[in-house]
Amino acid sequence: MSLYNRRDELPIPPADAETHTTVCQYCNVGCGYNVYVWPVGRMGGKKPNENAFGVDLTQPQPPLTGLSYTESMHTTVTKKDGRQYHVVVVPARDSEINRGDYSTRGGTNALTAWSETRGTRERLKYPLLRVGDEFQVVSWKTAFQVLSGVIKGVLDRYGPEELTAKAFDHGGGGGGFENNYGVGSLFFTGLGMKYVAIHNRPAYNSEVWGSRDRGVHELNYSYEDARLADTIVLWGASTFETATVFYIEHMLNNFKGATVGEKKAAFAEGEPAEPARMVVIDPRKTSSVTIPQSIDASRVLHLRPNLGTDYVLANALARIIWEKGWHDESFIQTRTDLATFEDYKRKSLKLYQPLDEVLSEAETITGISREAMEKAAAWIAKPKAGGHLRRSLIIYEKGMIWNMKNYDQIASVVQLAVLTHNIGRPGTGCGRQGGHQEGYVRPPYPGDRPPPNVDKYIEEGHGKFYWVIGTDPYLSTPNSQYFKKRIHARTQALTEALSLHHGRGGEPGDPEALVERILEALDVTDGLFMVVQDLYLTHVARDAHLVLPAAGWGESDITSINCNSRLLRLYEKFMDPPGEAKPDWWIMAQTGLAIAQRYREEGREQDAKRFEFGKNWKTPEDVFLAGAREFPDNRVSEADEATLPAECYKGIDYAFLKKVKLKGIQTPVRIDPKTGKPVGTKRRYVYRFGTPDGKFKWYGTDDWEGYPEEVAKYFEGERKSRYPFWLTTGRSQLVWQTMYHDKYLPEKMLALPLPYVEIHPEDAKRLGVKSGDLVEVYNEEGNGNFMVYVSDSVKPGLIFAIMYHQRGSANNLVSGYTDPKTTIPWYKGTRVAVRKLSNGLPDLMQSASTRPVNDFE
Amino acid sequence: MMALTRRQFVKASASGLAALGLARAGFWFAPSLPYASVKVANLANLEVGKPVYFSYPDARSQAVLVKLGTRAIGGVGPDRDVVAFSASCTHMGCPLQFKNGRFVCPCHYSMFDPAKNGEVYQGLATEFLPQIPLEVVPQSGDVFAKGVEGLIWGRVSNLLG
Ligand code: SF4
Ligand code: FES
């Protein structure tokens, strides 16, 4: 009767099972986990001394405080010794950030491990080369021969401008310092490539230049601040769904009053310490709003601005604060740059314009009432009884980052925080929530700012070589329908040109002859040679010429930091990668060496050297330590932590990380000038900001100019009635990103079988659709088919779509607009039409729940 | 609330093992253990939307039976709408509440759909709620619990010992 295979008994790790510590492969929170590995055929006992948990398993575990070991936390894997092993991955209790807790995504960490007997058997095991328009297994030797030949050929004939790539830059599974350093070393040190895009956007940029240019790195708070804040602001972040354990364990416990004792200990004498208030700024009424509302609605404020207007709202709040005198004047005077402050006063606060006028304009643009704005301003900045500065933690994420005018949006929020001194004090901070974890270390990117839009560059026919690593742009890039068609056409053009005898014969069998043929074909067609490097044969891989199998989480040691605390930890290897799959850093190093060899054969010693960055990389730690050399001298004072890159880990090695385990160390790491020992940084910018003179640099935001052409066109003439809905996008609690693992897990595919849209009941009535029905959503950019959830999460006239799903992407509908200042897309706003396709499919109606996910009453 | 006495329970387990013929050597898909068949309700006494709590498969495991009023996966009774589940949240074991046709966990807000095999559709839990297969005696309307499909949170085996 179960919809998928269930267990009613689980194997027990014996007391001598191999144990490892690691961190969840998925989200920004970075929950700690314990891993147990032992050969199949053996079993521990239920008594505490008979099992590796050290727990009495004869008794049921006590709720909340007991060990969580669920069906999804066990799997079996086969190692290189040809034997099967049990693998158990359970949330760790001695990890401060999660304290034994975990989320629905991390709960499946074990199930994502490669296994011949489950869905993950689909992992890529060997390099695949498209030969005769089919993938054929080849050796790494052949793969590197072809790869290095094509790269060097393109580089020598046309220069680095014709080499393009899209690669991860994050931490956690699929990333980490080691892999990032490998990618950066080849692309920047070796190849000098400028046409490189980051995994989730079409360019090589920061998503938060609006903050960094001010001297504020986006990860500046610590998880403790979420426990100490008087007010938690979630701006364009549905933290319950996308940073789940951070929300539950820290924000919500603060909201419930469970951290009042900690506040009393941390606050000044006589300072009021009460359960937190929450301000959620989001066009949708998500679970992150309705959960605290179900506890105490009087302490929750939900603002639902019109799409794209958040920076106008932030500036209006700042103006109210200014008028009320709730800003911190002495902080502004001593810690910020007063010259640029004039700009801010003029353009953002609009001090030359009367308050009433500014606020009534803001009301019209944002759709938020003045009363609500005043309430939000008070909750963020009004001093507490006794004149104590309020402590507000302001966390933003993709609702702001992927908003129209990325730069101004981010700048406006961080400036609101600095105006009110909500940074650098316990219980404050202003930064991003994070999507993935982080773990960035690379040689400098050689391109300009703003960087080129690599998608458009390739679409226009530029670039002869395209290397996609650990990301699936067929789902994740904006305006992806056009992108897919262009990549398909260009890769296909090359494939066709490879056939001998005027297109009627086979392809050269010898790799060197094949390379020659590829280079000739690239010269005479607008063809594109595409390499895809990933765990699985992703959507984009269907058009690749060469597919390279990458090792995943748990298959090689990696290091990363989480987002809420910049906590650096070691994610230990606990199993072998499948087949010939290799860590990304190894693939990049070997590619470099293969190119170097070709140069050396031509006697071009200098050129060869650039590509030998990885010649001494034997272990992941070698790469980690090589990466550390990118950081500046970190023997600096506590105050000068602000001068260090946020991820600086110089002075740390694997031995250190193995010793501190899940306790980790918070970056930036400094070497204490007195003791010579590495010390972490709990909270940033306590003493100075990250600018040359230590002062925060203000910025005057642009005036409201309406929507960019790519979206404004939908309000012209007939289009206005043809595309009557706004569309915004986001993620679902249940799954991770493109579902590259989740698509093999029945728990996930049963609950979320198709990409979905949320439609307000009034609109649903008008459209004649109900929950479970299928609709087509379309506009002049593209099309997508979705399952309907009728939901009051959206307002009438606004449709929400899951941004991507294994079975389709809402990015087909997203325009090609990017912020001219940053080249960051506006993924979360466009106009669409909706038409019903069919009633709910019977088997999906039977198995997929369509109950509202934001109603807890 | 109904509870299995320890004697009934031991008897049930023993006969189950005997039926198997030998000590269990491996693992199979649930239900794989010698669960007792226990009367937990009578159809005549059920009201739509009113949960009936009982202990199963032993006194330390709270379970819940509910008549949903709409057809459900694994539902019994004339309307195929009577279902039963472990009442411990599969996330970290908190006792679930049945509210407005579904289960909500008061601890971290996981929600499970009783009509869809206990599917997690929101919240922190990974596993669907273990469903308890039911059998109805046609003459009497008595409803019997027959096993547990899925691991009850906090146990390495649904049957203690
Ligand atoms: S909250 Fe994030 S880090 Fe923690 S278990 Fe879930 S996905 Fe993993
Ligand atoms: S115990 Fe139920 S959601 Fe955590």
> What is the 3-state secondary structure of A705-733?
CCCCHHHHHHHCCCHHHHCCEEEEEECCC
Residues 6+ apart with CB under 8 A from A287: A238, A240, A241, A733, A853, A854, A856, B109, B122
Task: Count how many pairs of residues, chain A against chain B, have C-beta atoms within 8 Å.
Answer: 182
> In this structure, what token pair is assigned to residue A557?
């040691």
Report CA dihedral (A346, A347, A353, A359) to the nearest 10 degrees: -140
Residue A684 lies in a domain: no
- How far away is chain A from the Cα of B101, in angstroms, using its nearest Cα? 10
**What pLDDT was estimated at residue B27?**
62
Average pLDDT over residues A100-119: 96
**Domain interval for residue A806:** 709-847
A825 and A732 both lie in a single domain: yes
Instruction: Flag if A3 and B29 touch (Cβ within 8 Å).
Output: no
Residue A410 lies in a domain: yes
Residues of chain B contacting A857 with CB distance shorter than 8 Å: 99-100
A412 and A510 both lie in a single domain: no
Q: Indicate the pLDDT class of residue B10, thresholds 50, 70 and 90.
A: very low
| C-alpha span between A733 and A248 (Å, rounded) | 13
Residue A279 C-alpha to ligand 1 middle, in angstroms? 23
Rounded to the nearest integer, the mean pLDDT of chain B is 88
> In this structure, what token pair is assigned to residue B82?
């009577």
Rounded to the nearest integer, the mean pLDDT of chain A is 97
How many domains does chain A fold into? 5
A471-524 confidence digits (pLDDT tens) = 999 999 999 999 999 999 999 999 999 998 877 889 999 999 999 999 999 999
A252 and A326 both lie in a single domain: yes
Q: Which of helix, strand or coil describes residue A575?
A: coil
Please report, for the domain that includes residue A25, its CATH number: 3.30.200.200
A445-467 confidence digits (pLDDT tens) = 999 999 999 999 999 999 999 99
Residues 6+ apart with CB under 8 A from A789: A756, A757, A758, A759, A771, A850, A852, A853
Burial of A537 (0-12, 13-18, 19+ CB in 10 A): middle
Rounded (5°) CA angle A683-A689-A692: 145
Beta bridge partners of A84: A78
**What pLDDT was estimated at residue B7?**
43
A601 and A472 both lie in a single domain: yes
A246 and A367 both lie in a single domain: yes
Quote the crossing angle between the two packed helices A620-628 and A177-184, to the nearest 10°.
Answer: 70
Average pLDDT over residues A126-143: 97
Residue B107 C-alpha to ligand 2 middle, in angstroms? 5
> In this structure, what token pair is assigned to residue A487?
């990549």
**What pLDDT was estimated at residue B16?**
43
Q: Which atom of ligand 1 is nearest to the CA of A107?
A: 5
- Amino acid letter at A466? Y
A465 and A488 both lie in a single domain: yes
- Amino acid letter at A100? G
Residues 6+ apart with CB under 8 A from B131: A1, A2, B73, B74, B83, B84, B85, B117, B118, B148, B149, B150
**Does residue A76 surpass a pLDDT of 70?**
yes
Q: Indicate the pLDDT class of residue A783, thresholds 50, 70 and 90.
A: very high
Catalytic residue among B6, B50, B99, B108: B108
A357-366, A695-704, B2-11: which range is least confident on average?
B2-11
A349 and A457 both lie in a single domain: no
> In this structure, what token pair is assigned to residue B77?
């009774």
Beta bridge partners of A241: none
Q: Indicate the pLDDT class of residue B26, thresholds 50, 70 and 90.
A: low
Protein residue with least CA distance to atom 1, ligand 2:
B92
Q: Which of A400, A432, A464 is the last residue of a domain?
A: A432
CB neighbours of residue B32 within 10 Å: 20
With b for 16 or more beta-carbon neighbours within 10 A and e for fewer, the A161-191 pattern comes to bbbbbbbbbbbbbbbbbbbbbbbbbbbbbbb
Residue A575 lies in a domain: no
| Of A345, A305, A348, A306, nearest in space to A210 by CA | A348
Residues 6+ apart with CB under 8 A from A743: A119, A749, A806
- Please count the residues of chain B: 161
**Does residue A1 surpass a pLDDT of 80?**
no
B52-92 confidence digits (pLDDT tens) = 999 999 999 999 999 999 999 999 999 999 999 999 999 99
Distance in angstroms between the alpha carbons of the first and the last residue of chain A: 29
**What pLDDT was estimated at residue B20?**
40
Instruction: Enter the DSSP assignment of A3.
Output: S
Q: Which atom of ligand 2 is nearest to the CA of B123?
A: 3
| C-alpha span between A268 and A259 (Å, rounded) | 16
A227 and A355 both lie in a single domain: yes
Annotated catalytic residue B50:
no
**What pLDDT was estimated at residue A505?**
87
Residues of chain B contacting A734 with CB distance shorter than 8 Å: 120-122
A204-213 confidence digits (pLDDT tens) = 999 999 999 9
A43-53 confidence digits (pLDDT tens) = 999 999 999 99
**What pLDDT was estimated at residue A343?**
98
E strands along A70-193, which residues? 74-78, 84-91, 128-131, 134-137, 163-167
Residue A696 lies in a domain: no
Is residue A779 within 8 A of residue A719, CB to CB? The reply is no
Residue whose pair of structure tokens reads 């509440």 in the numeric block: B97
For chain A, give the percent of residues with pLDDT over 90.
98
Residue A115 lies in a domain: yes
Residue A99 lies in a domain: yes
Q: Which residues line ligand 2 (CB under 6 A)?
A: B 89, 91-94, 105, 107-108, 110, 123-125
| C-alpha span between A731 and A805 (Å, rounded) | 9
Surface of A (489-548) touching B: CB under 8 A: none
**Does residue A264 surpass a pLDDT of 60?**
yes
Is A43 in the B-facing interface, judged by CB distances under 8 Å?
A: no
A419 and A330 both lie in a single domain: yes
| C-alpha span between A377 and A368 (Å, rounded) | 13
Q: Which of A385, A413, A432 is the last residue of a domain?
A: A432
Is A134 in the B-facing interface, judged by CB distances under 8 Å?
A: no
Please report, for the domain that includes residue A311, its CATH number: 3.40.228.10
Architecture in CATH for domain B38-145: 3-layer Sandwich (2.102)
Please, where are the H alpha helices in A420-537? 454-459, 473-476, 480-497, 500-503, 511-524
A314 and A199 both lie in a single domain: no
Is residue A1 within 8 A of residue B74, CB to CB? The reply is yes
CA diameter of chain A: 88
**What pLDDT was estimated at residue A836?**
98
**What pLDDT was estimated at residue B6?**
42
Is residue A796 within 8 A of residue A728, CB to CB? The reply is no
